[in-house]
Amino acid sequence: MAITNQIALLFSLLFLICIQNSASVSTESDVLLSFKDSIDDPLGLLVSWSNSTTNHHCNWTGVTCIATKDVLSVSSLNLQSLNLSGEISATICDLPNLFHLNLADNLFNQPIPLHLSQCGSLETLNLSNNLIWGTIPNQISQFESLRVLDFSRNHVEGMIPGNIGLLQRLRVLNLRNNLLSGNVPSGISNLTELTILDLSENPFLVSEIPSGIGKLLKLEQLLLQSSGFHGAIPDSFMDLKSLSTLDLSQNNLTGVLPQSLELVSLRKLVSFDVSENKLFGSFPNGVCDAKGLTTLSLHTNSFTGLVPDSSITGCLNLERFEIQDNGFSGDFPDGIWSLPKIRLIRAENNRFTGKIPESISMAKQLEQVQIDNNTFISKLPLGLGQVKSLYKFSASVNGLYGEIPNNFCDSLVMSIINLSHNYLTGPIPELKRCRKLVSFSLADNNLVGEIPHSLAAFPVLTYLDLSQNNLTGSIPKELQNLKLALFNVSFNDLSGEVPQSLITGLPASFLQGNPGLCGQGLPNSCGGTKSKHEVAGLSKLVSVIISLALSLAIVILAVGVYITYRSSKKSTQMGVWRSVFFYSLRVTEQDLLVAMDDKAARGSGGAFGKVYIINLPSGENVAVKKILNFESQSLKTLKAEVKTLAKIRNKNIAKILGFCYSSDALILIYEHLQKGSLGDMIAQPDFKLPWDDRLRIATGVAQGLAYLHQDYVPHLLHRNVKSTNVLLDENNEPKLTGFALDRIVGEAAFQSSVLSASSGSCYIAPESGYCKKATEQMDTYSFGVMLLELVTGRGADEHIESGDGEFLDIVKYVRRKINITNGAIQVVDPKISNSSSQQTILQALDIAVRCTSVAPEKRPPMCEVVRALQSL
Ligand SMILES: *[C@@H]1O[C@H](CO)[C@@H](O)[C@H](O)[C@H]1NC(C)=O
Ligand SMILES: *[C@@H]1O[C@H](CO)[C@@H](O)[C@H](O)[C@H]1NC(C)=O
Ligand SMILES: *[C@@H]1O[C@H](CO)[C@@H](O)[C@H](O)[C@H]1NC(C)=O
Ligand SMILES: *[C@@H]1O[C@H](CO)[C@@H](O)[C@H](O)[C@H]1NC(C)=O
Ligand SMILES: *[C@@H]1O[C@H](CO)[C@@H](O)[C@H](O)[C@H]1NC(C)=O
Ligand SMILES: *[C@@H]1O[C@H](CO)[C@@H](O)[C@H](O)[C@H]1NC(C)=O
Ligand SMILES: *[C@@H]1O[C@H](CO)[C@@H](O)[C@H](O)[C@H]1NC(C)=O
Ligand SMILES: *[C@@H]1O[C@H](CO)[C@@H](O)[C@H](O)[C@H]1NC(C)=O
Ligand SMILES: *[C@@H]1O[C@H](CO)[C@@H](O)[C@H](O)[C@H]1NC(C)=O
Ligand SMILES: *[C@@H]1O[C@H](CO)[C@@H](O)[C@H](O)[C@H]1NC(C)=O
């Protein structure tokens, strides 16, 4: 530490020397440029900082000017979040009117830039969230003009120097989340202008709270949480009359709360948090004198005594009330339940008695109640069901009695109910409205009657514990349909057959203590009787399954709750279409969906749904491919993949214009060319394209493929080269479409659909059957087949009579023919074979034959194919 201190000092000395040596630069724009010189700007976000006459420096990124004596002068530099690094140079101090310097959220990796104290006007220095290291030197006091100093979220270490007290103008001092250590110096009490003091999240700051803190009369926010503060909270707190936020949580503070906090005085408090310390004594009775109080958190301490109703009723703005894990006793204050803004009540693990009053219905914002492990002796009020915002109600281990009211679960957002270990009687009511219920525990009560069938209708119910009651009847079969992770009905009086999946598979079922239950694997089988031996074996098996299932259940419950939470957030988006257009299409996804009717459908469509040709209002045609049931990639991945493909710019690759997606379908929009596909053209009986055009098509397709294979980053494979995936414009310039679908739908889905649909097609390279990995050579093979189509004028699907009564696909047919003398010329399309270009046609045929070699390594790479075709 001493060494870093010295290094820091050395650095600052060096900087001071630099300042003195730097010739005084003339204009402010020169100053800015020379400041920029020492900064690394990897993203080029300071590109506007340049010596041009057209862009005044006051208009440069992050620069703000003021007018002084009719001259514009830089007053503020805000360069936060630009990924800047390098050196913060003192030349900046040559700006005479620089008041604010914000370099937060960058990557400056250096000691505290003391040399900036040369900036005579500097009021704000914000270096939050960089990589600043080293200690705070005593010379920090040189920053005389500073009002705001923010070094938060860096690696500043060592003690806070007493000299910091000399920064008498300081209003904001933020040293949060550093590695400071030692004692907080008493000098800090000299900072009488401070409104915000944040020393939180410095775990090595093992210190008492200096008693001089009470001198900071203007303090509004005192944030000391999650550091190492110990000892008592000083009495001088009573003087902090302006305090609105006090956070002392997660320290090692002991003793009682000072009188001032307990009984009055801090009337401006909005948030009061002393949780997770070792405080004791009584509840701060006067705390609600602060009318604006929204958060009161005393949890996880050793407070005892009563919480008088009168101490709480004044808190009309209270939202969070957390006093759990203490030793409070006596009647729980009724007034809490009807506070108009209350959202969270946590009082579990105390010794409270009392009732839950009907007036709880007035708590219109109440979301969460946790009062487990107390001695509430109460019925469940009807008013509880009227709280429509209630999400969690947990009151296990209390003295609740009486019947569960029918409206109990009327809150539509209710997710977690725990009423276990109480004295509730009567039947379980039919719960209908709380469709978000995830966890429902009524264990260890005196409930009677049957398990309601309606429970099976809760879509996300994951945890159901009805054990230790007096329930009768059978287990509803419909419960099998739930994705339960835990199902505990042990120790009831249930009877009848247990649904098979509740016995054998997940969930972890707990059925013991119900002698009337029967089923395969249970001690009682429903039909006949089984030998003792068999039963013992089975029950052993069952217990193994159960213990396995139990461990799984815990994991699944956690995951389940998480997923449910996420999906409940997402559910609003289900079935909703979203679109990303890379070109302005002036259509909505609705227009597209409507237009995708049978009239627009083309071709068989393949396994991934049909292709539709749609005429846009602009007169343009687009090809739309709808993909259903693809692998459930995350939408983010999906978007990223489509965007990767959409970025391809090559004259022989059809553009992806955009895509629409919903939770279960994807619509890809491609450009469509007027002439349609080569495949369609070849299939026509009067196909008679001249050879020059055919050659142009072949060359273009080869170029497109070569681009995908070698030039585009990331390198792509087409994986579905065929003549129907080659579109033609009016000049017969080809464009490849339908490429790289595997990246969008996922490999498994691609294999099981695209590939399996074309299995047996002669476009597929012979090694595809046994090679797991797709290769460029496979694309080359398919290209060769397409080239054969062009040369022979026959479609790849055609089976050609070979002359000896056999029907062969195009590849086999050509191979057989070219082995006989003059055979080659026989396979050439007669419509072009008489032309003067016979020689080039035969050369093209030769290329096609090489591309369709059985051995992949004999096939030429596509770039070579391009060259060969171009030379024809
Ligand atoms: C900016 O331009 C001015 C005149 O156009 C010139 O005097 C000055 O040296 C230039 N500054 C830099 C840093 O290039
Ligand atoms: C800044 O740019 C705006 C327009 O972009 C222009 O009107 C203004 O005059 C410029 N300011 C200076 C000081 O050049
Ligand atoms: C900024 O830097 C961080 C850390 O080096 C890096 O993770 C991040 O990607 C960078 N941001 C950009 C936009 O490059
Ligand atoms: C410093 O900048 C960060 C990032 O913008 C900001 O969150 C923080 O509030 C600033 N600090 C002060 C004291 O204004
Ligand atoms: C507090 O400030 C006074 C002057 O206002 C100064 O004399 C004294 O030394 C300072 N105390 C500390 C501990 O910095
Ligand atoms: C609190 O003090 C105890 C010893 O009294 C120590 O072991 C513990 O680490 C301290 N905790 C914190 C957060 O400082
Ligand atoms: C129940 O609360 C008491 C304090 O009243 C506490 O000592 C005990 O540990 C709590 N039980 C559980 C399971 O948390
Ligand atoms: C319900 O409360 C009991 C007793 O406090 C506890 O053991 C159990 O884990 C709770 N159940 C759930 C699902 O939180
Ligand atoms: C199921 O309920 C019984 C009886 O309440 C209890 O003993 C057992 O621990 C419970 N099992 C689980 C996993 O909650
Ligand atoms: C529940 O069953 C137990 C034992 O079978 C019995 O003692 C108790 O009275 C029953 N309670 C109710 C409310 O039926």
Whether 349 lines ligand 7, by a CB cut-off of 6 Å, is yes
> Does residue 558 or residue 480 have the better pLDDT?
480
pLDDT digits (tens, 9 = 90+) for 485-525: 788 999 999 999 988 777 765 455 688 889 898 887 777 87
pLDDT-based confidence at residue 658 (cuts at 50, 70, 90): confident
DSSP readout, 800-833? EE-SSS-EE-HHHHHHHHHTSTTHHHHHS-HHHH
CA-397 nearest atom, ligand 7: 1
CA-446 nearest atom, ligand 10: 13
pLDDT-based confidence at residue 632 (cuts at 50, 70, 90): low
Mean pLDDT for 417-446 is: 94
pLDDT digits (tens, 9 = 90+) for 46-88: 999 998 778 899 999 999 999 988 889 999 999 999 999 999 9
What is the spatial distance between Cα 833 and Cα 826, in angstroms, rounded to a whole number? 9
- pTM as predicted: 0.64
Strands 245-247 and 423-427: unpaired
Three-state helix/strand/coil letters over 187-246: HHHHCCCCCEEECCCCCCCEEECCHHHHHCCCCCEEECCCCEEEECCCHHHHHCCCCCEE
Q: What is the mean pLDDT of the chain?
A: 85
The pLDDT value given to residue 505: 57
CA-72 nearest atom, ligand 2: 13
Q: Is pLDDT at 732 greater than 60 in this prediction?
A: yes
Task: Note the maximum CA span of the chain.
Answer: 112
- Find residue 344's DSSP bridge partners: 320, 368
The pLDDT value given to residue 641: 82
Location of structure tokens 């550093």: 178
The pLDDT value given to residue 560: 40
The pLDDT value given to residue 557: 45
The pLDDT value given to residue 104: 97
Cα(33) to centroid(ligand 1), Å: 9
Nearest CA to ligand 6 atom 6: 252
Mutate to test the pocket of ligand 2, among 56, 60, 73, 75 (most ligand atoms within 8 A of CB): 56
Whether 700 lines ligand 5, by a CB cut-off of 6 Å, is no
What is the spatial distance between Cα 206 and Cα 212, in angstroms, rounded to a whole number? 17
Q: Is pLDDT at 730 greater than 90 in this prediction?
A: no
Please state the separation of Cα 148 from the chain's center in Å. Answer: 34
Cα(394) to centroid(ligand 9), Å: 18
Q: Does residue 235 lie within any of the structural domains?
A: no
Q: Does residue 733 lie within any of the structural domains?
A: yes
Mean pLDDT for 196-202 is: 97
pLDDT-based confidence at residue 232 (cuts at 50, 70, 90): very high
Among residues 363, 353, 350, 261, the alpha carbon closest in space to that of 318 is found at: 363
Nearest CA to ligand 8 atom 5: 396
> Does residue 578 or residue 15 have the better pLDDT?
578
Q: Identify whether the C-beta of residue 335 lies closer than 8 Å to the C-beta of residue 309.
A: yes
Give percent above pLDDT 70 in the chain: 86
Q: Which ligand is nearest to the CA of 415?
A: 8
pLDDT digits (tens, 9 = 90+) for 113-129: 999 999 999 999 999 99
Q: What total of structural domains would you count in the chain?
A: 1
pLDDT-based confidence at residue 576 (cuts at 50, 70, 90): low
Among residues 231, 187, 244, 186, the alpha carbon closest in space to that of 210 is found at: 186
CA angle 610, 616, 619 (to 5 degrees): 125
- Find residue 460's DSSP bridge partners: none
Q: Is pLDDT at 4 greater than 70 in this prediction?
A: no
Phi-psi region of 44 (alpha: psi -120 to 50; beta: other; left: phi over 0): left
Q: Name all residues whose Cβ lies below 6 A of ligand 6.
A: 228, 252
Nearest CA to ligand 6 atom 10: 252
Q: Does residue 551 lie within any of the structural domains?
A: no
Cα(83) to centroid(ligand 3), Å: 6
The pLDDT value given to residue 528: 53
The pLDDT value given to residue 201: 95
The CATH number of the domain where 654 resides is what? 1.10.510.10
Mutate to test the pocket of ligand 2, among 32, 55, 59, 65 (most ligand atoms within 8 A of CB): 59
Q: Does residue 748 lie within any of the structural domains?
A: yes
The pLDDT value given to residue 630: 63
> Does residue 247 or residue 675 have the better pLDDT?
247
pLDDT-based confidence at residue 542 (cuts at 50, 70, 90): very low
> Does residue 461 or residue 192 have the better pLDDT?
192
In the three-class reduction of DSSP (H, G, I as helix; E, B as strand; rest coil), residue 586 is classed as coil
The pLDDT value given to residue 119: 92
Q: Is pLDDT at 633 greater than 60 in this prediction?
A: yes
Q: Does residue 854 lie within any of the structural domains?
A: yes
Phi-psi region of 629 (alpha: psi -120 to 50; beta: other; left: phi over 0): left
Cα(490) to centroid(ligand 9), Å: 7
Q: Which ligand is nearest to the CA of 32?
A: 1
Mean pLDDT for 594-612 is: 65
The pLDDT value given to residue 508: 57
Give percent above pLDDT 90 in the chain: 56
Please state the separation of Cα 77 from the chain's center in Å. Answer: 33
In the three-class reduction of DSSP (H, G, I as helix; E, B as strand; rest coil), residue 658 is classed as strand
Range name among 602-616, 618-632, 846-860 with the lowest pLDDT average = 602-616
What is the spatial distance between Cα 553 and Cα 643, in angstroms, rounded to a whole number? 39
Mean pLDDT for 413-421 is: 95
Cα(560) to centroid(ligand 7), Å: 28
CA-252 nearest atom, ligand 6: 1
Whether 439 lines ligand 8, by a CB cut-off of 6 Å, is yes
Q: Is pLDDT at 761 greater than 90 in this prediction?
A: no
In the three-class reduction of DSSP (H, G, I as helix; E, B as strand; rest coil), residue 698 is classed as helix
Q: Is pLDDT at 36 greater than 80 in this prediction?
A: yes
pLDDT digits (tens, 9 = 90+) for 822-838: 778 888 998 888 778 88
Q: Which ligand is nearest to the CA of 28?
A: 1
Location of structure tokens 């089988």: 525
Cα(30) to centroid(ligand 1), Å: 7
The pLDDT value given to residue 800: 81
pLDDT digits (tens, 9 = 90+) for 265-309: 788 999 999 999 999 999 998 888 899 999 999 999 999 999 999
pLDDT-based confidence at residue 759 (cuts at 50, 70, 90): low
Q: Identify whether the C-beta of residue 197 lies closer than 8 Å to the C-beta of residue 221.
A: yes
Cα(237) to centroid(ligand 7), Å: 32
Domain that holds residue 653: 578-870
Question: Which residues are CB-neighbours of 499 under 8 A, at least 6 positions away?
Answer: 475, 477, 479, 480, 519
The pLDDT value given to residue 509: 64
The pLDDT value given to residue 649: 84
Q: Is pLDDT at 16 greater than 50 in this prediction?
A: no
Mean pLDDT for 198-219 is: 95
What is the spatial distance between Cα 366 and Cα 401, in angstroms, rounded to a whole number? 23
Residue 71: burial class (beta carbons within 10 Å; 0-12, 13-18, 19+): exposed
- Find residue 665's DSSP bridge partners: 628
Question: Which residues are CB-neighbours of 636 under 8 A, at least 6 positions away?
Answer: none
Please state the separation of Cα 418 from the chain's center in Å. Answer: 30
Q: Is pLDDT at 741 greater than 90 in this prediction?
A: no
